[in-house]
Amino acid sequence: MIVNGYHEYWLGSAPQPLADKRWFDTHIASLQEHVSPGKLVIELGTHAVDWISGRPRPVVQPFARIMSALADQQSLPEFVTEAGNTRASYVDGQGLQHRAWMLEAASAHNQILTLQKRGVTAFGLSGLGYEDPGIWAVIDQTTRGLNLHGESLKNVVLSNYVELLGHGPFVAPISMPEVGKRAVETTSAGKISAVFYEELPRASIVQLYGAGAPNQVVLTFDDGPHPQHTPATLDILRDTQTPGSFFVLGNNAAAAPDIVKRILTEGHELGSHTYSHPNMGEVSASRAKVEINSTQLLLNGITRKNIRLYREPYMRSGGPITSKEVASIMPLEKAGYIIAGMDVVPRDWITQTADELADEIIRQVETNAGGVVLLHDGGGIKVRPLLPYRG
């Protein structure tokens, strides 16, 4: 039996702890009257709830988001010992008052000890991705029966959350995460009684920009040039007088320099998509540099132009969500590239007719997803491009 170990707050509630210590103890005790400890799974909260002035419904937020906002406003969170939960408040850039309660690593630590004392060994975590990263050290130590090593909670690195500013398919990384520092005090029973933040952590920040007008569509083609598909694509674009953007791979461009030239001659945009399509977040910094610089030199040799448009392989729509993804595009930003993402990702890698593909794109654009459409004109066996044009 899986039971929430925290409250859910809805319309009209007042700011209050998410899992007050006394409530948590009583809640577990009363559950145990009905369910045997071996069958009970408690779902621990690992998130924040934010009561914002003027909004009747509180908002569930990631720990990282609240901490970044507190860092911005130079406002310290307070671990309320009696409640065993953390309280935070700040005024945002629009003048809205935020009153948040959080379940940070310290709360989880104390709750797990309470469960263990009561013989409940099974617990789950709610809202993964919303958690204080220190929770993993807590779980590792408590489940092995170790006393908490305070140092393990000291550094707070918000690597699984990115603060996205603005809207649009273009991505400009602004900063990497800043490491927070905190100290904890424990009682003789091993529970955390106090948490002090010496430095507040801050998530990486990315500016999104370049949103087009509604119903305006930009067609982009990745992974080419391909000896057959790209000329066929260019023919259709020419005949329909449609401009496109081509994000080419260095190794394909080297094999088809004339097609690269044709892309520019016929008035399309040309961008780099690396030399060999690696996952740039997974390769070494020196390999990443070679991927970018060799493609730049090659395209420069073919076109006599400096290509400043770039799209990262395996980029997701909506902007990066981990600091690793931000780290991999940061050198490109510093080198002056314009980093293009996408809004609409139709599944052009599965077999469907041009009409089906066009319908899917139009459907997504009409839901205001944005207008930059990712298609593929290269990629060999996996990719079978079917252009979204009728006639």
CB of 5 or CB of 224, closer to Zn ion: 224
Alpha-carbon gap, residue 92 to 166, rounded angstroms:
15
Distance of CA 278 to the CA centre of its chain: 20
CB of 223 or CB of 343, closer to Zn ion: 223
Contacts of 32 (CB under 8 A, 6+ apart): 40, 118, 120
Per-position x/- string for 284-323, each x denoting binding to Zn ion as judged by CB under 5 A, each - no binding:
-----------------------------x----------
Size of the site for Zn ion (CB under 5 A): 3
Helix then strand then coil, % of the chain, to nearest 5: 30, 25, 45
φ and ψ of 226, to 5 deg: -110, 135
CB of 124 or CB of 278, closer to Zn ion: 278
Residue 225 Cβ vs Zn ion, minimum distance, rounded to whole Å: 13
φ and ψ of 276, to 5 deg: -130, 15
Which stretch in 182-190, 219-227, 297-305, 357-365 sits in contact with Zn ion by CB under 5 A? 219-227
Which stretch in 161-169, 214-222, 259-267, 367-375 sits in contact with Zn ion by CB under 5 A? 214-222
State the catalytic residue, choosing from 132, 222, 343, 377.
Answer: 222
Contact 40, 3 (CB under 8 A): yes
Residue 372 Cβ vs Zn ion, minimum distance, rounded to whole Å: 14
Q: Which of 20, 50, 131, 222 binds Zn ion (CB under 5 A)?
A: 222
Long-range contacts of 3-10 (CB under 8 A, 24+ apart): 3/31, 3/40, 3/41, 3/42, 3/43, 4/42, 4/43, 4/45, 4/126, 5/42, 5/43, 5/44, 5/45, 5/111, 5/123, 6/43, 6/44, 6/45, 6/103, 6/126, 9/49, 9/58, 10/57, 10/58
CB of 196 or CB of 314, closer to Zn ion: 314
Q: What is the DSSP letter of 93?
A: T
Residue 250 Cβ vs Zn ion, minimum distance, rounded to whole Å: 12
Residue 222 Cβ vs Zn ion, minimum distance, rounded to whole Å: 4
376 carries an active-site annotation: yes
- Can the peptide bond before residue 56 be classed as cis, meaning omega within 30 degrees of 0? no
Contacts of 339 (CB under 8 A, 6+ apart): 170, 171, 172, 173, 310, 311, 312, 329, 332, 333
φ and ψ of 80, to 5 deg: -90, 105
223 binds Zn ion (CB under 5 A): yes
Q: Interface residues for Zn ion in 138-177 (CB under 5 A)?
A: none
167 carries an active-site annotation: no
CB of 313 or CB of 371, closer to Zn ion: 313
Residue 273 Cβ vs Zn ion, minimum distance, rounded to whole Å: 6
377 binds Zn ion (CB under 5 A): no
Alpha-carbon gap, residue 294 to 302, rounded angstroms:
12
The closest residue (CB) to Zn ion is 222
Residue 200 Cβ vs Zn ion, minimum distance, rounded to whole Å: 37
The tokens for 5 are 């170990």
Residue 239 Cβ vs Zn ion, minimum distance, rounded to whole Å: 26
CB of 50 or CB of 223, closer to Zn ion: 223
Q: Is the dihedral of CA 6, 128, 48, 318 positive or negative?
A: negative
Which stretch in 73-81, 88-96, 182-190, 215-223 sits in contact with Zn ion by CB under 5 A? 215-223
Residue 226 Cβ vs Zn ion, minimum distance, rounded to whole Å: 12
State the catalytic residue, choosing from 20, 229, 376, 377.
Answer: 376
Q: Is the dihedral of CA 344, 346, 348, 350 positive or negative?
A: positive
250 binds Zn ion (CB under 5 A): no
Contact 330, 365 (CB under 8 A): no
Contact 30, 3 (CB under 8 A): no
Per-position x/- string for 69-108, each x denoting binding to Zn ion as judged by CB under 5 A, each - no binding:
----------------------------------------
> Which residues would be at the binding site for Zn ion (CB under 5 A)?
222-223, 313
List active site positions. Answer: 222, 376
